Chain A
Amino acid sequence: MSDFDIGRWRPAPFLPEADSRDGSLTFVVATLCFLACLTLIAVLATNRAARDWTSQLDGQATIIVRPKANETPDGAAARAAETLAGVPGVAEARALEKEKAEALIAPWLGDADLSDLPVPRLVAVQLTKTAPADAIALDRALKAQGLDAVVDDHSVWMADIQHAAQVARWVGMAVFGLIATAAAAVVAFATRAGLAARREVVEVLHLSGAEDGFIAGLFQLRFAKMAAIAGLFGAGAAAIMGAILRLAGGGQGLTPVLPITWLDLLAVLPAPLAAGAVAALAARLTAQAMIRDLA
């Protein structure tokens, strides 16, 4: 007697469930996702670092004041600060003490006695957030008061930092794109191998009247699911790695140079979906191309 209960029968999957290659493919895609997520976290941290640096420099200017023959350095600096405080677009202007100016140049001169050197005085200028004064306006105001001064609005530094941040961003995105392309290529290769291994199944489905899109859809679904699961593992591992780096760096993230925040770790959340989408597209295109070769 048959123990087959047709009332409880459920259709078997069109494609065989397991494949010995699935494990290694999952590992490769998970690794690629892990690397992609780490790259993404690094790009976010780099962006933040660049933003922090530029925001520190932006809105500030430093004035180097050289005293004239008839006045003391401190007097010239005080006069410059007073002049600049009255310029529209300046929130605050403060003459720095001699010790601070010496401390700034000390790294270049070592332990030398600076008392005999004509160290220029500095004036730190805080510009207003809205309509800040530019270097030309500051310079003009100083010259109008007969002060010999050089205005440094940090624009050279900011341009360099912004340029460096832009380069880092593009390099990061390029690495991210390369990893995504590699993942797609791996899935395309696996789809090709999967189709070849199941050629008999594909042929029977094809000759039984299954449409090309339906057959391609079977492979698309299979590899999308596999990649999404692999993406979950890869993203999870990257988030753990990011958390370790965050914790290792204390309050500033890994280092002040690469400040990872807890929020950055959320960036890995779309990774499983993205991996699934890339795999689905690669599998569908590959499968369709191969099925078209059938008569």
Chain B
Amino acid sequence: MSRNPNATGAPDADPAVVRFDDVSMRYGRAPETLKDLTFTLAPGSFHFVTGASGAGKTSLLKLLFLAAKPSKGLMHLFGQDVSTVAREDQPFLRRRIGVVYQEFKLLEHMSAFDNTALPLRIEGRKPDSYRNDVAELLAWVGLKHRMHAMPATLAGGEKQRLAIARAVVNRPEILLADEPTGNVDPEMGLRILKLFVELNRLGTTVLFATHDEDLVARSGMPVLHLENGRLTAHGARP
């Protein structure tokens, strides 16, 4: 199904991986959930997205993984104005973005190995070209002995790490994570954070949404802080 992998991958003069210019977003006719956001993310950067529940963290990530559209403003991904990307080209843009969903979104009828391999299968790759990579990745996230397990039989932390493995298996340029430490104990949260930092060192741009201020403080990474849908801090920790 790799019809045109480079359809949206044309290089752009804009060095930012993500650029928001006065972007707002609303669900239907409801009041705006995100208001006038303007920021950029450089390639290889690591940012936390912080804010209270309902501040707009998940909505911001939804915009970024193209599950929602801005109601106002310009949103650029990889130097491209997403409003100009044709629907048939959007899948190729999505393949450049890895997502760890808050509710995991693991496919219950697939084993851990199958769930992890899913993005590669969607890209149309042959099993022999990735089966060893998938196994190595699962070992890297600590699921070497759970490859055959179905999601229903996995513990919360295992599901979280499986979701991370699926998100990074095709080496996305951007990794978005929505409360990836929300369902695990602090020790596991720290381990997961270390995984993201490791991926970031390999060149992946990371956006990590969390309300865990302790984790943010311990990491020393810059934050995008949201309050009532508005960006109140961008860059160094508030």
Contact = CB atoms under 8 A, between A and B. Distances in A.
Given A211-B1, A295-B67, A2 B107 contact: no
Given A16-B108, A292-B87, 13 more contacts: A2-B148, A6-B113, A6-B135, A9-B127, A11-B127, A12-B111, A200-B105, A201-B107, A207-B105, A209-B122, A209-B123, A214-B1, A295-B68
Nearest to A8: B131
A205 B118 CA distance: 8
Contact of B147 (A6, A11, A13, A200): A6
B144 to A, nearest CB: 7
Given A2-B146, A11-B114, A209 B127 contact: no
Contacts of B68: 295
Q: Which of A9, A200, A209 has most B Cβ within 10 Å?
A: A209
Nearest to A7: B131
Given A295-B66, A295-B69, A4 B148 contact: yes
Given A6-B113, A201-B107, A210 B148 contact: no
B69 A9 contact: no
Contact of A11 (B1, B105, B117): B117
B235 to A, nearest CB: 29
Contacts of A14: 121
Interface string A1-37: 1111011011111111100000000000000000000
A207 B122 contact: no
B87 A2 contact: no
A204 B118 contact: yes
Nearest to B4: A211
A209 B114 contact: no
Given A4-B147, A9-B131, A204-B118, A211 B113 contact: no
Interface stretch (B31-39, B91-99, B179-187, B210-218): B91-99
A204 B114 CA distance: 13
A145 interface: no
Interface of A: 1-4, 6-7, 9-17, 200-201, 203-205, 207-212, 214, 292, 295
Contact of B121 (A1, A4, A11, A292): A11
Interface string B110-133: 110110011101110001000110
Interface string B33-48: 0000000000000000
Interface in B54-109: 65-69, 87-88, 91-92, 94-95, 99, 105, 107-109
In the complex, the 9 A-B pairs of residues with the closest C-beta atoms, listed nearest first: A209-B95, A4-B148, A16-B109, A209-B94, A4-B147, A2-B145, A12-B114, A209-B91, A12-B110
A205 B147 CA distance: 20
B107 A204 contact: yes
Given A2-B146, A2-B148, A11-B117, A203 B105 contact: yes
5 contacts: A2-B148, A4-B147, A15-B109, A16-B109, A207-B65
B3 interface: yes
A200 to B, nearest CB: 7
B118 A17 contact: no
Given A4-B113, A6-B147, A210 B127 contact: no
B119 A209 contact: yes
B140 to A, nearest CB: 15
Interface in B190-224: none
A92 B111 CA distance: 84
Nearest to B69: A295
Nearest to A217: B1
Contacts of A2: 144-148
A13 B107 CA distance: 11
A207 B1 contact: no
A208 B87 contact: no
A45 B16 CA distance: 74
Nearest to A200: B105
Contacts of A214: 1, 122
B193 to A, nearest CB: 23
A9 B105 CA distance: 22
Nearest to B139: A2
Contacts of A16: 108-109
B110 to A, nearest CB: 5
A145 B113 CA distance: 100
B67 A210 contact: no
B87 A212 contact: yes
B113 A9 contact: yes
B122 A210 contact: yes
Given A204-B118, A209-B119, A210-B1, A12 B69 contact: no
A8 to B, nearest CB: 10
Max chain A C-beta neighbours (<10 A), residue from B68, B88, B92, B148: B148
B131 A12 contact: no
